[in-house]
Amino acid sequence: MDIRSVCTASVLLLLSLSRCFLPSAGADLLEYECNNGTSYAANSTYQSNLRSLLASLAANASRSLFPPVGFTTAAVGASPDKVWGLGLCRGDTNGTDCESCLALVPDIAFGQGDYCMGVKEVSVFYDRCLVHYSFRDFLTSPDNRIVELRGAGDDNVTRDAGRFDALVVSLVGALSDWAAFNTTTRYAVGTMVSDDGFATANGAVVHRINGLVQCTPDQAPGKCRDCLQALIDEMPEAFNGSTGGHILRVWCNFRFEVFEFYDGSPMLQLVAPRPAPPPSSTVPTDQTGGNGTRWRQHAATASAIVLGVALILLSIFTILLWRNTRRELPYQEDDDPASLLFNLPTLRRATDNFAEENKLGQLVQSRQTPSCTRKFGMG
């Protein structure tokens, strides 16, 4: 055998070993939980059944009844050593990678040290798959509260953290609607883009938020949406300006990051609304002809309205004042009979003691008669 053949054989051996002992690309361990309420002994029947269960989940994932999502459930053994399990792969993971990810779970189930060796109920979450197994039948009565694991990133936004959190909630909510009502896989990924961006503690400026939501594909649309909504309701408490995070449960989960962590194109691409400008106490200047012109138009409209209201009020005031003035003037003709009564001394003085020449009828006659005589005498 020449040196070239030896080298080629060595490389192939190393590649084979790396595939056996190294996880597949992207199969990063996110969280795991060991329910230490119960345990089993090494080399017991329960452990044997558990090994068979985990092998069955990994093998059957690529032959799921809900393609293309790897999803499977199984039960192995008989009471009191029976074990139930569920395996779910991320919606963008192919059959080979799904099986490879699920094949990593025994490292947590039987690994030494801080892992879950000897524990009967365990949840394991990789970024591409999850497994939950238990000595209890959790499959016939799904309860999404049996386990919940949260995680937040190390970086935070340093400005407008509340607005950033609101955008994350909006993104996850929109993806939840899409996954529940627009897909049969109950899986959706998408982005939220912000033009102004968010400064972070590490000095970067974030313009894009990536999100992922998933339910087990056997759920009805409404049930999936309710499952995800329960996680959304916990977001304000779990995250405070963190640039990444997740809430993981058996029947549904979500994750968001400022970097892309899924394969394929986003199903939803959302654009964040621009933040409202802060209130200003100064009059805006017309530097470009846009804002100043609009401000002058608004000012002219407001002035016209104020002037019109003032004229109306002034007219009403003038009319009321004129009416009140008329009421206060003395009446020119008094129709009261009492005003025509005079006492006797007054009448005597006014008529020169009732002289004949002061009678009204007599006065007219005495003044007109001579004129008439002269007129006819001249004829």
pLDDT digits (tens, 9 = 90+) for 163-180: 999 999 999 999 999 999
Distances (CA, A) of 252 to 153, 231, 247, 331, 349: 20, 9, 9, 93, 120
The CA distance from 201 to 181, in Å, is 37
List domains and CATH numbers for the chain: 23-134 (3.30.430.20), 149-271 (3.30.430.20)
Phi (first) and psi of residue 119, to 5 degrees: -100, 135
Element (H, E) at 83: strand 83-89
Using the 8-state DSSP alphabet, how is residue 209 labeled? E
The CA-CA-CA angle for residues 283, 286, 289, to 5°, reads: 145
- DSSP label at 354? T
- Residue 282, CB half-sphere, CA atoms under 13 Å: how many? 3
Model pLDDT for residues 182-236, shown as the tens digit of each residue? 999 999 999 999 999 999 999 999 999 999 999 999 999 999 999 999 999 999 8
State yes or no: pLDDT of 239 exceeds 80: yes
Tokens at residue 123, please? 């949840």
**Which amino acid is located at 195 in the chain?**
D
**Angle value at C-alpha 32, between 201 and 93, nearest 5 degrees:** 85
133-142, 248-257, 328-337: which has the minimum mean pLDDT?
A: 328-337
| Between residues 61 and 40, the one the model is more confident about | 40
Average pLDDT over residues 266-288: 73
Strand order in the sheet with 71-76: 29-39, 119-126, 129-134, 83-89, 71-76
Q: 371 CB contacts (<8 Å, ≥6 apart)?
A: none
The amino acid at residue 231 is: L
pLDDT-based confidence at residue 7 (cuts at 50, 70, 90): very low
Q: At a CB cut-off of 8 Å and minimum separation 6, what does 207 contact?
A: 193, 194, 195, 197, 198
In terms of residues, how long is the chain? 379
Q: What gap in Å lies between CA 310 and CA 369, rounded to an integer?
A: 69
Q: Has residue 255 got a pLDDT over 70?
A: yes
Distance CA 152, CA 245 (A): 4
